[in-house]
Amino acid sequence: MSVSINLIDNATRPTTAAAKAPAADGKPPLIGLTREELGDALVDAGIIPARQARMRAQQLWHWLYVRGVSDFSEMFNISKDLRADLARHFSIARPEIVEEQISTDGTRKWLFRFPPRGAGRPVEIETVYIPEEGRGTLCISSQVGCTLTCSFCHTGTQKLVRNLTAEEILAQLMTARDRLGDFPDRDTPAGAIVPAEGRKVSNIVMMGMGEPLYNFEAVKKALLIASDGDGLSLSKRRITLSTSGVVPEIVRTGEEIGVMLAISLHATNDDLRDMLVPINKKYPLKDLIAACRAYPGLSNARRITFEYVMLKDVNDSLDDAKALVRLLQGIPAKINLIPFNPWPGTNYQCSDWETIEKFADYINNAGYASPIRTPRGRDILAACGQLKSESERLKKTERLALEAMMIAGHGE
Ligand code: SAH
Ligand code: SF4
């Protein structure tokens, strides 16, 4: 991959149509509510009688999640008067797209701005789209910043500003679908859900900024809506939630959300994991592995992904590979090796390619699928662990330093 920092140009600037007015109007959002809450909200606002609650909720659900509309005026089977009432009371607007960047490898990164909640300030978060052969994965953020301070993670150097709401988590998916043309055209017959095979966003991963299990309720609500078969309709098998190891919420994730699980493991003994992933001090490996074994629905067809970042001379020896295989014994697992993505100010380096391959071969021979995650979108700082908010964006000098680091890197 050539290394170049893609500055935004006019070709990649969002059109005004897609970057509709932010929901800064202070009206409560309808996106992110359950069907029941949706009906109740309309009744409570006094714009429909209680007996219509279910029917109206269903109607709106379809417009919001199947058709993807972001303006009440497009809901042509709802009377003009009711549309006007809806618009007076509620918001279904998309967030503002502050920036859209497209990497040399096709990866896209959006910087979204969400309006203040309560007395707070507007917040900005990043969402990344990774197109691959036969599928496209959207990497979604769950928090603005992160309270955890994994030592190799750029997001971890940014303080937590706040949790995202269910609406804001869904807005990332819905705005990406707008931009990628994943909602049906206006002239598609009503009722048609775009089939999974034809979609740009076929998979989602909760692997953006933040620790999703520290924002359990909002993440749960958003993912249940994303996987609802009469709406956004993403299969739960195509949704992966990655956690650094919030042990008490792991089994709940399987029971209440039912999506695929990924664990940011990165080390096979407590001493090293305490340093790399400090939440390990609270929930050590023994507890983490026990929670994984208890994850509902585990089978060879539904395996846990263990993420393992390759840090030069830190966790990349053959002994580490052996310890990894021992640790995971008996758990249906795949191991995802992530070449470390550098960021300005880090003391870590990525393992040499040869070392990564040897490591991968060992665990492969031990019977585990062990794909090496190809770094994507590094030129736009969209790779794992590189996300940060606009407020913390790189200064020009830092960008240049990063560029130099990547050129000096392991020769991609
Ligand atoms: N907070 C969650 C999900 C987001 S991070 C978690 O930690 O699981 C997604 C993955 O990227 C995690 O496995 C994380 O450990 C990894 N990661 C973080 N920083 C990285 C970096 N600089 N290079 C490579 N991977 C990184
Ligand atoms: Fe937070 Fe995950 Fe980064 Fe750790 S790796 S600091 S949990 S975002």
CATH of residue 59's domain is 1.10.150
- Cβ 253 vs Cβ 241: under 8 Å: yes
Task: Compute the distance between CA of residue 381 and CA of residue 387 in angstroms, rounded to an integer.
Answer: 7
Nearest protein Cα to ligand 1, atom 17: 385
Task: Compute the distance between CA of residue 233 and CA of residue 335 in angstroms, rounded to an integer.
Answer: 27
Tally of domains in the chain? 2
- Cβ 255 vs Cβ 214: under 8 Å: no
Residues 356 and 213 placed together within one structural domain of the fold: yes
Nearest protein Cα to ligand 1, atom 20: 385
> Residue 215: which of 156, 160, 258, 165 has the closest Cα?
165
**What's the CA-to-centroid distance between 121 and ligand 2, angstroms?**
23
The helix/strand count (H/E) of the chain reads as: 11, 11
- Cβ 273 vs Cβ 266: under 8 Å: yes
Structural domain for 351, as ranges? 96-407
Order of all β-strands in the sheet with 108-114? 96-102, 108-114, 123-132, 135-139, 203-206, 239-243, 260-264, 304-310, 333-339
DSSP conformation class of 139: E
Assigned domain for 376 exists:
yes
Task: Compute the distance between CA of residue 250 and CA of residue 292 in angstroms, rounded to an integer.
Answer: 7
Residues 221 and 315 placed together within one structural domain of the fold: yes
**CB distance 142 to ligand 2 below 6 Å:** no
Residues 355 and 289 placed together within one structural domain of the fold: yes
Q: How many CB atoms lie within 10 A of CB 217?
A: 11
- pLDDT for the residue numbered 394: 52
**What's the CA-to-centroid distance between 207 and ligand 1, angstroms?**
7
Give strand pairing partners of 261: 241
Residues 48 and 126 placed together within one structural domain of the fold: no
Query: Which of 68, 89, 110 is at the close of a domain?
Result: 89
- pLDDT for the residue numbered 169: 98
Assigned domain for 314 exists:
yes
Query: Which of 56, 89, 122 is at the close of a domain?
Result: 89
In this structure, which ligand is nearest to the CA of 351?
Answer: 1
Q: Report the atom number in ligand 1 closest to the C-alpha of 346.
A: 22
The separation between the first and the last C-alpha atoms of the chain, rounded to the nearest angstrom, is: 6
Assigned domain for 9 exists:
no
Q: Which of 125, 146, 215, 266 to mutate to test the pocket of ligand 2 (most atoms within 8 A of CB)?
A: 146
**What's the CA-to-centroid distance between 23 and ligand 1, angstroms?**
30
DSSP conformation class of 124: E
- Cβ 86 vs Cβ 69: under 8 Å: no
- pLDDT for the residue numbered 50: 98
Q: Residue 46 corresponds to which tokens in the numbers above?
A: 């006094």
- Considering the candidates 126, 168, 211, 307, report the single residue annotated as catalytic: 126
- Identify whether 126 is a catalytic site residue: yes
Whole-model pTM: value is 0.88
- pLDDT for the residue numbered 116: 85
- pLDDT for the residue numbered 203: 97
| Per-residue pLDDT reduced to its tens digit, 47-95 | 999 999 999 999 999 999 999 999 999 999 999 999 999 999 999 999 9
Assigned domain for 3 exists:
no
Assigned domain for 225 exists:
yes
Nearest protein Cα to ligand 1, atom 24: 340
- pLDDT for the residue numbered 388: 61
Nearest protein Cα to ligand 1, atom 7: 244
Residues 232 and 256 placed together within one structural domain of the fold: yes
- pLDDT for the residue numbered 337: 96
Q: Report the atom number in ligand 1 closest to the C-alpha of 210.
A: 1
- pLDDT for the residue numbered 380: 76
Assigned domain for 324 exists:
yes
**CB distance 150 to ligand 2 below 6 Å:** yes
Assigned domain for 59 exists:
yes
- pLDDT for the residue numbered 99: 95
The pocket around ligand 1, CB under 6 angstroms, is made up of 150, 152-154, 207, 210-211, 242-244, 264, 307, 309, 338, 340-341, 384-385
User: Which residues of the chain fall short of a pLDDT of 70?
Assistant: 1-25, 186-196, 378, 381, 383-412
